Structure formats: structure tokens, C-alpha cells
Amino acid sequence: MRTPSVPDPRRLRVLLVEDDDTIGRHLESGLRGHDYAPTWCRTGASALAEAARAPYEVLLLDLGLPDMDGLDVARHMRDRLPDLLIVVLTARTDDIDIIAGLDAGADDYLTKPFSISVLLARLRAHLRRHAMAAPAREPVRLGDLVVDLPARRCTLHDVEIPLRAKEFDVLSVLTERVGEAVSRETLMAEVWDENWFGSTKTLDVTMVGLRRRLAEAAEAGGRPARLPEITTIRGHGYRLERPSDPAGPEEGHPRKGAP
Ligand code: CA
């Protein structure tokens, strides 16, 4: 039985799709031991469902799957997730299969058998290029609250709110989907563990703490503050809502150099 820990959402999330038990286990433990957070699916259908449920940075995709052609999985994923790094793992060595894999949207391929260190080196190279190409993520402004995700800072009227690590993580997940309903399962999976099946009481406690700290910060500021609302959706989860702005349409990201 796997231990239900190693819950660091800042690790890169890898969706591993492999029906072979030995290879799957080997890759899963290799990735886990090298700062990746893998989730292992054995079929194409379960991988597509998992990718729709939670965000992933990397897809490691076996082409020979029991339920569908890996190339179709690659095409679906590429259509839905243009930024996903897709590496095809294949026993097929014919050039035609490799070309088909790349045409289906894969960024790279590895021919089995391959060593985990080669896989890790390829991933590092891709992710380095990816990071350089990705635009800098700007802080998100929600009324008077600014959430700076890369810096892990949350400020109200430029005063930092001392959130606990998990409170910030929960706020981050909600901020990335502002205006959308986020299920308790998604929050548990992204903030605590990708395979959480236990009690979600810890989420309730964290949410109470987050709401209290935001309210306390607003009170301590000594002037009116427009804060986003964390709405509880019964039987589902939560939704972060931008404060309504009587002065006009709500701003999105603060402009660079704006006062
Ligand atoms: Ca296979």
C-alpha cells in the first residue's frame, strides 16, 4: 500500500499513463524520488478523466494501451491542454510511429527500454525551455486584495497578510479559478495529496483560518476594504468571487507601473 503522504503541490505534476505494472511502478517511484508528483493511470480513458479533474504539467504516455491508442490520447490532451509537456514512451521503434507521435502533439519520445536518468534529463531540458518561454505570471488583483502566486504573497492595501502555508495554497487554487466552483476533492488533491481519500476536516479548518485572517486584515487596515468573497457551495466546495465594484467594471491584473 502506498503511503498517503508526500503532499507538496509545488512539485511538478506528472500524469503517467502506462499499463505495464513493472514499468509503471519503476517510473512512479523514480519520479517520486526526484521531486515530481506522479499520478499513475493504466488506461487512456482514466488518464483523460484525470487530466480533466486536476492540472498537470507533464504527460508521460505509453502508446500501447489496453483501451485506446495512445496517439488518440495524445491528440485529445494536446487539443485541451496546449501547454502540457507530452513525452511519448514507446516500444515501437519504427520511424513512422515516432513521426505519428510527434504529429499527434507529443513534444518528445523515448524508446523503451530507457533509463530513468535519461527520462529525468529530458524532462529537465524541456522544462527549462518551457520556463523560459512562459510569460511571467503577474499578481492577481481582487478588489483591494492582491495575490502574488509566484512570490507566495497576499497583500491588502500593500500590507502583507500573514497566511499559513496551507491557507495560501487553498487561496492560490481558488484564485487560479476565480469565479468558478472548485470541489472539495480538487482542493484536497491539489493542496494536500493527489490521492487523498481521508477526512476533509483539515480543509474546513484551513478555510476557517483563511477567512479569519482575511477578515482580520480588513479590520486592522482601519479603512474600507473590498475583499473577494469565499462562497461555500453546499455538497460541492467553494467559489472565490471578485468583489463587486460600484465604480465600474472589475479590473483583472494590475498594470505594470500603475499606482
Ligand atoms: Ca503498453
Name the pLDDT band for 132 (thresholds 50, 70, 90): low
One domain, residues 128 and 149: no
d(CA 89, CA 62): 5
Residue owning grid cell 463587486: 244
DSSP H or E stretch at residue 127: helix 116-133
One domain, residues 165 and 62: no
Residues 55-99 have pLDDT tens digits of: 899 999 999 999 999 999 999 999 988 889 999 998 877 788 888
Contacts of 16 (CB under 8 A, 6+ apart): 24, 27, 28, 31, 38, 39, 40, 41, 60
Write down the mean pLDDT value for the chain: 84
One domain, residues 210 and 103: no
Strand partners, 13: 37
Cα 184 → chain centroid: 15
Whole-number Å distance, alpha carbon 62 to ligand 1 midpoint, is 6
One domain, residues 120 and 202: no
Residue after which a domain boundary falls, among 101, 132, 163: 132
Q: How many CB atoms lie within 10 A of CB 207?
A: 21
Phi and psi based region of residue 145 (left: phi greater than 0; alpha: psi -120 to 50; beta: remaining): beta
Whole-number Å distance, alpha carbon 222 to ligand 1 midpoint, is 62
Q: What is the pTM of this model?
A: 0.53
Whole-number Å distance, alpha carbon 47 to ligand 1 midpoint, is 14
CB 60 within 8 A of CB 17: yes
Maximum average pLDDT range among 134-143, 175-184, 245-254: 175-184
Name the pLDDT band for 136 (thresholds 50, 70, 90): low
Whole-number Å distance, alpha carbon 63 to ligand 1 midpoint, is 6
**228: which 3 cell numbers?**
473577494
Whole-number Å distance, alpha carbon 8 to ligand 1 midpoint, is 29
Whole-number Å distance, alpha carbon 87 to ligand 1 midpoint, is 14
Q: Is residue 34 exposed (0-12), middle (13-18) or buried (19+ Cβ within 10 Å)?
A: middle
Pick the residue with more confidence: 102 or 46? 46
Write out the residue range of the structural domain in which residue 24 sits. 12-132
Whole-number Å distance, alpha carbon 41 to ligand 1 midpoint, is 12
